[in-house]
Amino acid sequence: MSPIENEPTTDKPRILLLSGSTRRQSYNTRLARHMARSVEQAGGISTLISLADYPMAIYHGDDEAQSGLPESARQLRSLFKSHHGVFFASPEENSSMSALLKNTLDWLSRADGDEPGKVPYIGKVAAIGGATTGASGTRLGLLHLRTVLSGLGMLVLPSIMTIPFAANAFDDAGDLQSEEQRTAAEAVALALVRTAAAVGVTS
Ligand SMILES: Cc1cc2nc3c(=O)[nH]c(=O)nc-3n(C[C@H](O)[C@H](O)[C@H](O)COP(=O)(O)O)c2cc1C
């Protein structure tokens, strides 16, 4: 069945959360972890994953022609399909999303046998955010991410979660220190959970 033929959920919406960085001390992973807690508080069920558990070579058409999708891309496609919404925390790398995140999105967008490439994305609700040590809060990078996710068929929420000067943003427990940022995280999580419950689909 096509995902857009599915009914919206009457249960708690399932939200997948991932960071576009696998760096051990990643600020974006901290943001994703904070958002996972906010999603639970907003009434959703959160699944926080690390892309380190889904390694993929840089996309290459010859590799795909010879071997198809990497097993990790298949697993991640399944995970996307079983969730109603996704939160992406992406570093900004030269005014765009991280190469790791783009490569992952690219592999997942490829057809798997008879299943069209965009199936894991279509009808899902996305919320985006990013943390950077710089002043911009990843706003430029998130513009690119929004464009890519929209092109893949996701409904990307207008509110974004930006964390500038990330080195000072989190306390030792990994929580956002600023009340303003905590409130923003709550608002984005609530919008994600409510919209995913209303229109998000699984496939
Ligand atoms: C190749 C590269 C390019 C970067 N470009 C930007 C940028 O355009 N804007 C920005 O604010 N930070 C930029 N940064 C800094 C990263 O956003 C910062 O290192 C961030 O903490 C990385 O995310 P992480 O902590 O989740 O690993 C760049 C870092 C690297 C390695």
In the chain, the number of structural domains is 1
Residue having the nearest C-alpha atom to atom 2 of ligand 1: 93
Domain presence at residue 29: yes
User: Which class for 83: exposed (0-12), middle (13-18), buried (19 or more C-beta within 10 A)?
Assistant: buried
CA neighbor of 76 nearest in space, from 142, 121, 42? 121
**Separation CA 19–CA 125 (nearest Å):** 17
pLDDT score, position 8: 57
pLDDT score, position 165: 97
Indicate which CATH number applies to the domain containing 166: 3.40.50.360
Task: Enter the tokens of residue 36.
Answer: 């996972």
| Cα of 72 vs its chain's centroid, Å | 16
10-residue stretch averages of pLDDT, the chain, 203 residues long? 50 96 97 98 98 98 97 98 98 98 98 96 97 96 98 97 97 94 98 94 83
Q: Which domain holds residue 148?
A: 9-199
Dihedral (CA of 18, 83, 45, 12) sign:
positive
Separation of CA 102 and ligand 1 centre (Å): 15
Separation of CA 71 and ligand 1 centre (Å): 29
